[in-house]
Copies of this chain bind each other. A is one copy, B any other.
Amino acid sequence: TALDDVTVLTVATEENDGFKRFLRSAKTYDIDVQVLGQGEKWEGGDMNFPGGGQKVNLLKEKVEELMKTKENDHIVMFTDSYDVMFLGTLGDILVKFKAMPDTRVLFSAEPFCWPDPKLAAMYPNAEVTNPYLNSGGFIGYLSELNAILNARKIKDNEDDQLYYTKVYLSELRDSLKISLDHKSEIFQNLNGALSDVQLRINTTEEWPYLENVATKQRPLVVHGNGPAKLMLNTMGNYLAKSWSMKKGCALCAERKIQLNEDNLPHVMLAIFIEVATPFVEEFFESVLLLDYPKNRVHLILRNNVPFHEPYVDEFYNKYAKEYATAKRIKPIDYMSEAEARNLAKDRCTNSMCDYLFSVDSVARLKPQTLRVLLTSGYDVIAPMLARPGQAWSNFWGAINASGYYARSTDYMDIVYGSIRGVWNVPFITNCYLVKMELFHTPKGQEVTYVKDDVDPDMAFCNSLRSIGVMMYVNNEEDLGHLVNHENFDVSRTHPDVYQVLDNKMEWERRYLHKEYLANFIDGQKPKMPCPDVYWFPLMSPRFCKEWIDIMEAYGKWSDGSNNDKRLEGGYEAVPTRDIHMNQVGLERQWLHILKEYVRPLQEMVFTGYYHNPPVSIMNFVVRYRPDEQPSLRPHHDSSTYTINLALNTPNEDYTGGGCHFLRYNCSVRDTRLGWLLMHPGRLTHYHEGLPVNSGTRYIMISFVDP
C-alpha cells in the first residue's frame, strides 16, 4: 500500500493542549491527520465516564464518504487525540500491521474489560497480557471497517468502546478478521501497563523512545487512557522528539516567542505573603530587580502576616508609585488566601492585563525570570525554584491517587538541573506566569483557587487540569530559588539571623563579612597580630549589631560570680558577664557557623588539625563595662582553640579593652568589627581581657574542641 492509500483520522471538538501535542507528534513523523468534529459541539459526555458514541458516528460518516472514492484495500487508522501521541511513521505502522497474520482490522488492547467487566467472560483467550479491546486506536481495511461501523446503531452519548467490544465479541470477529494488538506492536495503552512500559532516554539512539519490556516491542502510538493521562504528560516531555540527551529541549525551542519591546504585554504582578518569611527585605529587593518596565506591571501586594507589615509598608510607600497600578491587601482586611489569589486573578481577567505573574514571598527570582517565562511560549509556566540543596521545589512531578505530591522518576534530575528544559507537570506553586486568555473561555471562567479542604494552589492546579490546561515548569536556566520558612520564629529578636541553617544563601549574603571569601585567596598570608594568633574578617556589621540587640533584648547577663548554674559543674573559675547561646536559642545556629565558616579558617592556618564538626559547649557573648566587669584576669580556656569575635568597635563604642597574651607579652587592642581572633586555648596562650575604660565592649567567644 502506498502511504496515500491510508487515511488517518481522529476526532477533536476542542483545540486544547492535548490536541496540540497530538498534532505536533503527527507532524514530527510526517503523518497527515484528518480531524473530524472540529467546531462541532461535543455530545460524548465526560471523558472520565463511559461515552464517546459521537466519535463512532463521526467516523462512520467519514468512512462512508471514503467508500465512495477509495478502493476496498484502502486502509484507515483512527486514534483518540487529546491523550494520544504518535511515536513513529506511518510506514513503520503499516509494515507491522501487514505482517499480522489473518488480520484485516486491529484494535489496541488493554488489561481492563471496560466499561462492562461482565463481558470479560465472553473473550476468546483471556490469558494473554492485554486481553481486552480498547477503542482509542485501531487500524483496518476500509470495507471491513465500514462493516464494523454499520453493524449497529449508537447514540452520541453511548459508549464507543462498548460498541466496538460487542462487535468484536460477535461472529463479525471471525468474518471480518478483527484482531487485538495484545503485544502493543503498534498501540500502547498506558493504563494498567506502567510496569510493562519504559521510557528509554539515555541510550545510543538519538531520541528517547517507549519500550514495552514485557513484549520487547517499541509501540508506535501511545494512548494515555483514563488515569494514565498524567503519565503521558510526563512521557510527552521526551517522546516524539521533544527532548534529547544531546539536543536538550527541542520542543522549547519550537515554542519560543519574541516580545515586541514597543508593546510589551501587561503583567499583573501578584505578590503573596501568606506565611512569616525569612529575609523579606531580600524578597522585595529581588522583585524590584525584575527586568521588566514597571509601567507595564500592575502590582497587587497581599500581606497576611502582621510581623511583616512594617516592612511591607515601607516598600509600598516607596515603590508602589513606580508601577502602572498598585493595590494592597493587608492583614486587617481579613481575607483568606484563596480569596486573595482569586481576587488577583479576577482583577487581571477584568482588566487589559495579558499575564498574571503570581509570586509568593518564599520565591526568590533572578532579574530575567519574568522575561524568560514570557518568551517561553507556554500558557502556564513556572520558573523551577527549589530550596538550595534540597528536593523541595515549587512543582510536583507526579500526583498520587489522593491528589497529593508523588515523585516522578525525573523529579530530582529536574530539581538539580541535571536535565534542563520545560516540563509538563501536574502541579506548580509559589511562582508562575499565566496567560490571561485562558480565563476568557467559558471553561476558563470556572478556574478557581477556592475549594473546600484543599489548599488554594492545589485547587488552582486541579481546576486547570480538569479543563485540560497543561502546566509547565522551566529549568532551562537558573531562575531563582525558594527560601525555607518552616523554622522561622518571629517571636525572636531579629529572626533572620537565626536562619543560617535554613536559608544559607540569604544568610551568607546578609551576615557574612564581605571580605570573608577573600580569606581563602591563595598565597595570601593571614594576619597574625601575636604569635599563632590569627585574625580574620568573619561577620558583617549588621550581624554584629543584631547579635548585640538579641543579647540586650534578652538581658539576663550572668552575675560574674564563680557560681554558674548554666554550667555542668556549677562553677566557673574565670567568670565573665555573659549570655550563653543556648539561653537565646542560638546554640545550633552558632555551632553551624563554627562548622561552616570558622572551621575552614582553622584548617587553613592550623595545618593538619581537622575536627569536624567542631565541638563547643561554651559559646557566649561577653559584656565588659567599667562599672560592671571591665576586664578578665589571666587564664587559659578549656579549648583546643578559642575564637573571639569583636561585636563592636574600640574608640567608637568604648575605650580600652582588647586581649593580652602574657607568654608572648603581646596584645590585640585595635580589634575590628566582625573580625575574629583565633588562638590556641589551653597551653601556650595564657591571656587576659584588658580593662575597658568607658563605654561597653561586646565580644562573642567560643571554646572550640574543649
Contact = CB atoms under 8 A, between A and B. Distances in A.
Given A606-B684, A609-B636, A640-B682, 19 more contacts: A531-B531, A531-B532, A532-B684, A606-B686, A607-B662, A607-B663, A607-B686, A608-B635, A608-B636, A608-B662, A608-B686, A609-B682, A609-B683, A609-B686, A640-B683, A641-B683, A680-B680, A680-B684, A684-B684
Contacts of A608: 634-636, 662, 686
Contacts of A640: 682-683
Contacts of A607: 662-663, 686
A531 B640 CA distance: 18
Interface string A635-651: 11000110000000000
Say what secondary structure dominates the interface of chain A. Answer: loop
B636 A683 contact: no
A677 to B, nearest CB: 15
27 contacts: A531-B531, A531-B532, A532-B532, A532-B684, A606-B663, A606-B683, A606-B684, A606-B686, A607-B662, A607-B663, A607-B686, A608-B634, A608-B635, A608-B636, A608-B662, A608-B686, A609-B636, A609-B682, A609-B683, A609-B686, A640-B682, A640-B683, A641-B683, A680-B680, A680-B683, A680-B684, A684-B684
Interface of A: 531-532, 606-609, 634-636, 640-641, 662-663, 680, 682-684, 686
A662 B605 CA distance: 12
Contacts of A682: 609, 640
Nearest to A678: B683
A287 B24 CA distance: 116
Contacts of A683: 606, 609, 640-641, 680
A703 to B, nearest CB: 13
Nearest to A682: B640
A535 to B, nearest CB: 16
A636 B636 CA distance: 21
A470 B512 CA distance: 89
Contacts of A635: 608
Instruction: Report the 6 A-B pairs with minimum CB-CB distance, sorted nearest first.
Output: A608-B686, A607-B686, A606-B683, A609-B683, A608-B636, A532-B684
Contacts of A532: 531-532, 684
A236 B543 CA distance: 84
A185 to B, nearest CB: 60
A679 to B, nearest CB: 10
A538 to B, nearest CB: 19
A636 B532 CA distance: 16
A683 B603 CA distance: 10
A510 to B, nearest CB: 31
- Scoring A531, A640, A680, A682 by chain B CB atoms within 10 A of each residue's CB, the highest score goes to A682
Nearest to A639: B683
A640 B686 CA distance: 14
A600 to B, nearest CB: 15
A526 to B, nearest CB: 12
Contacts of A641: 683
Nearest to A687: B608
Contacts of A609: 636, 682-683, 686
